Amino acid sequence: MKTLSRVVALGALASAAMMAQRPFGVLSSTTAPDPTTIVQNQVDRLTKLLTLTSSQVTEATTLFTTALTAVTPLQTTLNGDWQALQTAVKGNATATIDQLATSIGTLTGQITDIQNRADAAFYAILTSTQQTTLSSSGGFGGPGGGPGGFGGGPGPRARP
């Protein structure tokens, strides 16, 4: 399940990065990479680590693209809710705070579910040797992120 959460976290992170319009890579650009590039980079890292077959690469690309596509609109809404929550806090609008906190919790749960399902599906296509390699490298989750996932959950750090 940690694996899928990494996939969702990557989608959330990618969406947040796109929204923030911060420089990426060697700081040569102020635009975020497109979803295809994000997934390709992820699959390239996993291929290098796990020596994925061409069939596994194709399937992983499909799994991660589907997850990122599903997460992106949720992340956009989540970012908006975090911004609205900051405004509500400053205005001491407790009813709005309650509503936004509930929405943020629901969206975070949905994102986590999507990411973990994709990670689980990816893990299932690996050989036992590849699974062992992935697990021994830290897998998809945990502090600091793993080699294949998005680098963490969409919690408070995903706030704009």
Tens digit of pLDDT for each residue in 85-124?
A: 999 999 999 999 999 999 999 999 999 999 999 999 999 9
From residue 141, give the alpha-carbon distance in Å to each of 53, 82, 106, 136.
23, 24, 21, 12
The pTM score is: 0.69
| Residue 36: inside a domain | yes
Q: 34: helix, coil or strand? A: coil
CB 72 within 8 A of CB 35: yes
| Residue 153: inside a domain | no
Q: What confidence tier does 32 reach under pLDDT thresholds 50, 70, 90?
A: confident
Identify the pLDDT of residue 102: 97
Residue 1 burial by Cβ neighbours in a 10 Å radius (0-12, 13-18, 19+): middle
Give the span between the Cα atoms of 13 and 71, in whole angstroms: 10
**Count of domains in the chain?**
1
| Residue 100: inside a domain | yes
| Residue 151: inside a domain | no
Pull the structure tokens for residue 7.
Answer: 């996939």
Pull the structure tokens for residue 160.
Answer: 């704009």
User: CA quadruple 154, 157, 151, 72: dihedral positive or negative?
Assistant: positive
Give the span between the Cα atoms of 158 and 91, in whole angstroms: 22
Domain that holds residue 114: 2-141
| Residue 52: inside a domain | yes
